[in-house]
Structure 1
Amino acid sequence: MDLLERDAQLGALQEYAAEAAAGAGRLVLVAGEAGVGKSTLVEALERRVPGARWAWGACDPLTTPRPLGALVDLAPQLDPELDRMCRDGAPRERLFDAAREALAGGGAPTCAVFEDVHWADDATLDLLRFLGRRVRDLPVLLIATFRDDEPRPRLLEVLAQLGAMRTTRRIDLPPLSAHAVDALAAGRGVDGGELFRATGGNPFFVSELLRSGPGDGMPSSIRELVLARAARLSPPAREALDAAALIGLTVPPALLGRVGSAAPRDVDEMLTCGVIRATTDAFAFRHELARRAVDEAIPPHRRQALHRAILTALEELEVAHPARLAFHAEGAGDAARAVAHARRAGREAAALGAHREALVQFERALRHADGLPERERAELLDALAAEAAVVDQGERALDARRQASELWRGLGDTVREGDSLRGLARAQLRVADGTGATATAERALELLQAHGDTREYAAALAQLAGDRMLNGRDDDAVVLARRAQALGERLGLPGVQADALDTLACSLAVTGGDWEPPMREALRLALEGGVADQAGRAFNNLHWALGSEQRIDEAIAVYEEGWAFCEAHDALSFGWCLRMEHAEIVEWRGDWDEALDMAEGTAGMPLTPLNRYTCLSVAGRIRSRRGEPRGMELLREADAIARGSGQPQYEVQSALNLVEAHWLAGDLDAARREAARALDLAPGTVGCIRDSVLEWAHRLLGPAARDIDAADVWDAPRHELAGRRREAVAAWERIGYVNHAALVLAFSDDEADLRDAIARFDRLGATAAVRAVRRRMRELGLRAIPAGSRSATRAHPAHLTRREQDVLALLCEHLSNEEIARRLVLSVRTVDHHVSAILAKLGVASRAEAAEAARRTGLVPVAG
């Protein structure tokens, strides 16, 4: 019964295990709903691959899981040194490298199982991504099981990235068919059809209902079934079962023996109920659903007492991670121990780069911190705010910093108050409160400068320098940044140095100075100093500066490296900023579906307003060009954020977004008003933004734009301003900016240029732009105006994006990914992702099969 209707999936697993044994490592994602038999399938594989070295690790179903919990389980099975490093709390980079080495060693193919990664902490998800990239040439089979019926955004995001790797394979386990359930019910006194309707074919539900027997009737839910079986136990055995449910899915006998007063015979009786079973060295619930059913039925007064007993036993055994201790302390209602363990768990998680888990642990500590001295509460609030800022929860960081600064003020500690205010200013920037951020940063520096050259003063100098830069006061920013950098160097503060040099570089980029050396040095200092958040900022601003100079290939390479770094180190505040700015490059190069996926894939995520601004801008521009009314709504929402930020770069770009959108909609008066607004705000912005202002002012304002300073304008806009439209188009085409090239032609008075513009917009699916050019042709009195084809608005038959279609065509030419990357001016990694997506959408397993399917179905024309 266990492997009914699972032959195909087991055969696939055996094939992947054989490939791994031959040195072609694989990461296999085994997906299915709760109870569908994922673990049973992998256990069957273990029996069929006895010559391999097997190791199993599980993720914890805790409110806040222990960081790298699965690795902690795997380590003693793989390598004593890795186990020691886990117990000693080694840095995550060393743990990740050691895990890879442990998997590669051992003298036999290794199968490592990560069970229940839907409960995984972020550090474990990062580890899976790290290993998935590095098993390609190793005799290693990684298997990750997860529920696909309870997805969370972070897991979906990581699964998408894992699925794009060439080493990754996925196996989906469907429920049993009605025919299979009917066959199982035959001769059991149970109606097969009713059983299928009640269970939906879930093997666990089916097996549990059949195990209950016809005499027990048909429970209305698994919960009732589990509790009905548990109710048969004697009070001591039921107490043991309740304690086991609170301990977790896997229950060490030594721990259970210390909780309550259950005798060995009571534990034996507990095992007879069919809810929990004995394994080689532990007790294990047959399924999390069973454990949860028992857990939820425990009365509150007994729950608290059991948590207290478990907590005491874990502390005596001295083996539990502080995250588990904090969980049980909170359940026990023990505020003091909850604070102590949660604070320690938060610090350890932060040191490992698991900033989300750190944030949740500090939140837990604060829930029980009413009795703490004000100084300790203020320290907790500052720690929480720092973690919230890193993971882009700006409002939470803002609130915590405000509370902390008020507490420090009440305590008369102006150093700590000033440092909290410095963090508050940063949070205000991220939530687009530019005016408040400036006032707060100035107040922080005022408080701290009285204390001399301290680390807090150096950080406040760097913060105010950044504020001045963002507000277009670049001369002031340069002076402050140089002071902060010198003091940071003298005090040995790599984070402050990186922050100051980054700001200096940004101001130099705006004012035409040599920005690249200080920017590269900022990145080096942040990376070598282990300051993940500042490294994320440096990656982001390096990408921005390169893109501003149209060094697109270099910008893409920085994005690839920077996004991988930010993900691996949970530095998501600047990581999301980097990703969204890269989405703009993807958009400008015409890959609108991909850009929309990147921008709108963040829906529901707690992004700060500035990161949300870029998402709204990308989605709003594309949807406006496609003639969707929602586009203007998105751009107006983005404009409200930009105006609140007080930062010229956001306000000018937002005005330009609205210029284009109003032009597309045929409202030229509104477009001209926004162009004038952009013109007023343009001083103090980077060159590429000023270039865009020049272009739109030239197109829409005419003589009103004559006084614009056109010095240092890049090739394409300079050609357009001089009336050399074809040269401008060629310049845009060299870097792949297809919409920009079409816009140049759209404002020509030449009929051939306008027809060319319509053709280009048509290929992009920019139906609103096609209508705008047709309006212009009518205004010019031209006849035989082309309507534009409808093909651009129809979905691709295989749901390929335009860029995927380009890649598929080159696959059919038998080009390697490296050759495709050179041909399309993409990174190799981006091509890897496109190829993986093509294989998945076409339902094929190889490049050759994709090419054959493309020719057979007409997706790619057959050469004549």
Structure 2
Amino acid sequence: MGTLLERAAELEALEEAVAGAASGAGSVVLVAGEAGIGKTSLVRAFAARVSARARVLAGACDDLFSPRPLGPLRDAARDPGAGPLAAAARTGDREAVMGAVVEELAGPGPPTVLVVEDVHWADEGTLDVLRHAGRRVPDLPAVLVLTYRDGEAPPGHALPTLLGALTGPAVRRLTPRPLSPAAVARLSAGTGADPAALHRSTGGNPFFLSEVIASGTPADLPPATVVDAVLARIRTLDDPAREALDRLAVVPGEVELSLARALVDDLTVVAEAERRGILEVRPTAVAFRHELARRAVEEAQPVLGRMRHHARVVAALLAAPEPDLVRVVHHAVAAGDERAVAEHGPEAAAQACRAGAQTEGARLYAEVLRVAHLLDEPTRMAVQDAYSWALFHAGAGEGVRAAAEAVRLREDGDPRALAHALAVLSVQQWSDQQPAAALRSATRAAGLTEAGDSPERVFALTHLGTLLVNLDREGEALPPLEEAVAVARRADGRTPPVPLVFRGRARMALGDEDGYAEARRGLALAREAGDQDAAMMGYLNTAIALWQRGRYDEMDALLAEREEFGRGRDFPFFDHSCRSYRLRLRALRGDWDAAEAEYRAILERSGGRGVLLRYCLPGLALLAVRRGDDDAPRLLADALAYTEDSGSAFQLLPVLAAALEHAWLAGRPAPAHVAAARDLLARTDRPGRERERADVLRALARLGEPVVPFRGCPPETLAALRGDRLEAAEGWAAIGAPYERALELAESGEPGRAAAALEILDGLGARPAAARVRGALRGLGVRQVRRGARAATRAHPAGLTPRQAEILALVAEGRTNTEIAERLVLSIRTVDHHVSAVLAKLGVGSRREAADHVAAARAGADPDADAS
């Protein structure tokens, strides 16, 4: 089965990418498809073709319960051609690997191709490095090739975030298709099998097909039993060969030769398996030809047999000079070796967290806690504490239970240690929307540390103050934050950064603009001290303060600075929270498609729970309302239910504004939302909350509710409430908010301005507001009103949004991204994102294929039929 059929287009695309890299125009190639479709065969054939004119480095991700941090990059570093990456990979430092990968791709000589297979199993660190490298590849003489299975990333995996970040014309997407009946007939020629039956039974999947043909099983074998075909081939081998395969099959991915020799005394016994194409033996490793075959062999073994083989792997790994403890723990768990998990698990988890792999660290700590009865009490407490923090940084939803257990373990011990655990629990409870419980825990922690100046006192006061800030009780937060600073200075002469950041945020929320300088000072102290946790927290909370004050450009610059600082550091909670504020800004400025796609990717990763909902769900609900999406009512209801439990007006005000806007767009009353909004307006009648209050006030006014401008009301809202729509529109234009500008123009009562508003709203895809403007224009006597998107466009068969359908039509006309940007008044970067999204949804790899799709599906359609 060495013949590679019906992959000429994919090979051509990959070779074109190398040719582009040779001229300095690098690219990313994403190869997606189901298991067995031939992704590995494709990239290996490609590597062989270009080996004479490109340097190829390759690595693969393994199906371990907790992936090896930077595993595929460590594999690639073992290649004799690796340079800077080889040294960096040995350190395990993510930032060093990140820089080394880019340096490797930018090296002199022929272009470099980096292939990473099965990224649906990648760890957080690998995905972060790939995201970093992928953004830089267009300017490098390199090609980054990533393969993955559609829909097989585990729940909460960050793969969708990586794919969402890899956009633009330098990103190509290939989706190898199942083989045609003609190809199946060619491959099965001379076997006596019925080609039609083979195609039906295997669906044209190359791996399934090859196994059925090689095993000689009936051609009408149903797909669910293709595994039987794999095992039928294995059964024809002699006993020593089958035993060797059983031992090798428990190791996911490649088995390095040193480990293979430790597991199989004499590797020559697998020669026949190699000859038959079951195994591949390379100079550095042995591997099953396909992961599906390995799994079939592994799962066919009796449980006790598998456990025995995993135990052999544990012993072999530990005998190495520098054992990979993550792999040790994986096999120890599978072997039922609790003592090995207890002995090596804590350090494996700590290594993962130090490498920035918080999610992997949390998984490993969870395995250790399953054998907590084998840990001594200090170790168990330390593991429990570390597990809780890893869960917090990973943005996982189990942190409350872990932190509560840490508190329980310390109830009868040192009060200061108990206070520390309670402060951690308060953070987790706040993350889980339990404000009352969080306040009780934080208050108790502060009370337990009243005697003497200690680090635990600083920690407890800091977290009490941060909690009060997050609960809109900024005035009450200042005393504990100030005391935390004073205690720390008395204890060791240092100024702690986090209390400064939150004191600055509190002052800004109270209307004191000088608080920004204090927050920045705290952030600078964190960076100078190398306190990554404090720096990440500082960036997020300073950004929140700037957003509340409407200082959008400063917030954007701050978050760009944070993104640069965060490269090589894995703090998923802070990463996604900060990204959510950039998405709010993108949505405000009209980049709705990109904002929605990233919001949904982050929420998918959250699994519908945890603190990430706080930052993303309201923004997504507002976009859904403004676009008239079918799931807008559900998203809005979820956002309201979630924020009602928060105890925070800061969280609830924007969601209530969205609910009021939804009622206005739908033309129905909302007495409960109006009452809740008026209650919150009364609670936030103070400096520092002007912009949030203004949003709610404007939404109430649109519903016909009586409103009165307040002191400090933002100028664009003040102008609107006074009836000066043009000044209000100009104010929103200065901010860069096209939707809000369009609404003010639409309410001017002047047909020309309303028509201009309609064009903006149609461009955004704001269907409900556009429908209102059309009605208003007809009411003003305008006879010819611009038509909206056709129903056929709204329900595009490929799932394109109206804007994406519009861009597809322009791509089919042969227009460049620059021309599209000029015509639609969009940034080139936004058009890049849209074009990439269109190609992905259509399942094509080039603009030419997209144009062919349009020609085939919409022959004769009028691209301007959306307007009259």
Confirm or deny a common fold (TM above 0.5).
yes
1:524 deviates by 3.3
- Whether 1:289 aligns to 2:286 is no
Question: Using the alignment, how far apart are the partners of 2:430 and 2:40 within structure 1?
Answer: 47
Tell me the secondary structure at the aligned position of residue 478 of structure 2.
helix
1:427 deviates by 0.9
1:700 deviates by 6.0
Tell me the secondary structure at the aligned position of residue 732 of structure 1.
helix
Tell me the secondary structure at the aligned position of residue 3 of structure 1.
coil
**Structure 1 residues 319 and 80, CA gap change in structure 2 (3 angstroms):** farther
Q: How does 1:325-344 map to 2 (within 5 A)?
A: 325-344=328-347
- Whether 1:193 aligns to 2:192 is no
CA contact (8 A) 1:566 1:572 kept: no
**Structure 1 residues 409 and 75, CA gap change in structure 2 (3 angstroms):** same
1:768 deviates by 4.5
Question: Using the alignment, how far apart are the partners of 2:685 and 2:233 within structure 1?
Answer: 75
**Structure 1 residues 640 and 479, CA gap change in structure 2 (3 angstroms):** same
1:740 deviates by 2.8
Question: Using the alignment, how far apart are the partners of 2:344 and 2:105 within structure 1?
Answer: 32
Choose which of 93, 96, 99 in structure 1 pairs with 2:95.
93
1:5 deviates by 1.6
CA contact (8 A) 1:111 1:143 kept: yes
Query: Partner of 2:23 in structure 1?
Result: 22
1:650 deviates by 1.5
CA contact (8 A) 2:660 2:700 kept: no
- Whether 1:249 aligns to 2:253 is yes
Query: Partner of 1:511 in structure 2?
Result: 510
Query: Partner of 2:68 in structure 1?
Result: 66
Percent identity reads 34
Query: Partner of 2:788 in structure 1?
Result: 791
Choose which of 367, 372, 376 in structure 2 pairs with 1:369.
372
Question: Using the alignment, how far apart are the partners of 1:544 and 1:804 within structure 2?
Answer: 35
Tell me the secondary structure at the aligned position of residue 424 of structure 2.
helix
- The number of residue pairs the alignment matches comes to 849
CA contact (8 A) 1:164 1:833 kept: yes
Query: Partner of 1:552 in structure 2?
Result: 552
CA contact (8 A) 1:58 1:70 kept: yes
Question: Using the alignment, how far apart are the partners of 2:380 and 2:656 within structure 1?
Answer: 43
Q: How does 1:540-689 map to 2 (within 5 A)?
A: 540-562=540-562, 569-601=569-601, 602-603=603-604, 605-606=606-607, 608-625=609-626, 630-664=631-665, 665-667=667-669, 669-683=671-685, 686-689=689-692
Question: Using the alignment, how far apart are the partners of 1:186 and 1:728 within structure 2?
Answer: 74
Query: Partner of 1:391 in structure 2?
Result: 394
Deviations 1:533-583 (A, max 9, x none): 443433333433334444434434444554576585332223333333333
Tell me the secondary structure at the aligned position of residue 607 of structure 2.
coil
- Whether 1:54 aligns to 2:56 is yes
Query: Partner of 2:433 in structure 1?
Result: 432
Tell me the secondary structure at the aligned position of residue 634 of structure 1.
helix
CA contact (8 A) 1:116 1:146 kept: yes
Moved more, 741-750 or 122-131: 741-750
**Structure 1 residues 258 and 490, CA gap change in structure 2 (3 angstroms):** farther
Question: Using the alignment, how far apart are the partners of 1:402 and 1:612 within structure 2?
Answer: 22
Deviations 1:581-624 (A, max 9, x none): 33333333344444433333424633555532454333433444
1:493 deviates by 11
Query: Partner of 1:306 in structure 2?
Result: 309
Question: Using the alignment, how far apart are the partners of 1:148 and 1:471 within structure 2?
Answer: 41
Deviations 1:321-372 (A, max 9, x none): 1110001111221112112322212111111111111111111111122232
Deviations 1:231-272 (A, max 9, x none): 233433322111100123322343233336x44553445545
Deviations 1:384-439 (A, max 9, x none): 1111111211x3111100000110113x1222211111111111111111111111
- Which amino acid counterpart does residue 497 of structure 2 have in structure 1? A
1:182 deviates by 0.8
Q: How does 1:83-482 map to 2 (within 5 A)?
A: 83-89=86-92, 91-105=93-107, 107-148=109-150, 150-152=152-154, 154=157, 156-161=159-164, 163-213=166-216, 221-259=225-263, 262-264=265-267, 266-268=269-271, 270-271=273-274, 274-393=277-396, 395-410=397-412, 412-450=413-451, 452-482=452-482
1:293 deviates by 0.4
Alignment root-mean-square deviation, CA = 4.1
CA contact (8 A) 1:807 1:820 kept: no
**Structure 1 residues 150 and 199, CA gap change in structure 2 (3 angstroms):** same
CA contact (8 A) 1:392 1:608 kept: no
Gaps in structure 2 of 5+ consecutive residues: none
**Structure 1 residues 224 and 690, CA gap change in structure 2 (3 angstroms):** same
Moved more, 382-391 or 483-492: 483-492
Moved more, 660-669 or 110-119: 660-669
Question: Using the alignment, how far apart are the partners of 2:628 and 2:260 within structure 1?
Answer: 64
CA contact (8 A) 1:188 1:214 kept: no
Question: Using the alignment, how far apart are the partners of 2:825 and 2:597 within structure 1?
Answer: 20
Moved more, 469-478 or 748-757: 748-757
- Which amino acid counterpart does residue 472 of structure 1 have in structure 2? D
Question: Using the alignment, how far apart are the partners of 2:605 and 2:89 within structure 1?
Answer: 34
Deviations 1:759-801 (A, max 9, x none): 86666555555677899999xxx78699976514643789465
1:728 deviates by 1.4
Question: Using the alignment, how far apart are the partners of 1:742 and 1:109 within structure 2?
Answer: 49
Deviations 1:128-177 (A, max 9, x none): 12222233343323322222352446354245235404433232221211
Question: Using the alignment, how far apart are the partners of 2:357 and 2:822 within structure 1?
Answer: 34
CA contact (8 A) 1:82 1:102 kept: yes
Larger relative contact order (Cα-Cα within 8 Å, sequence gap ≥ 6): 2
Gaps in structure 1 of 5+ consecutive residues: none
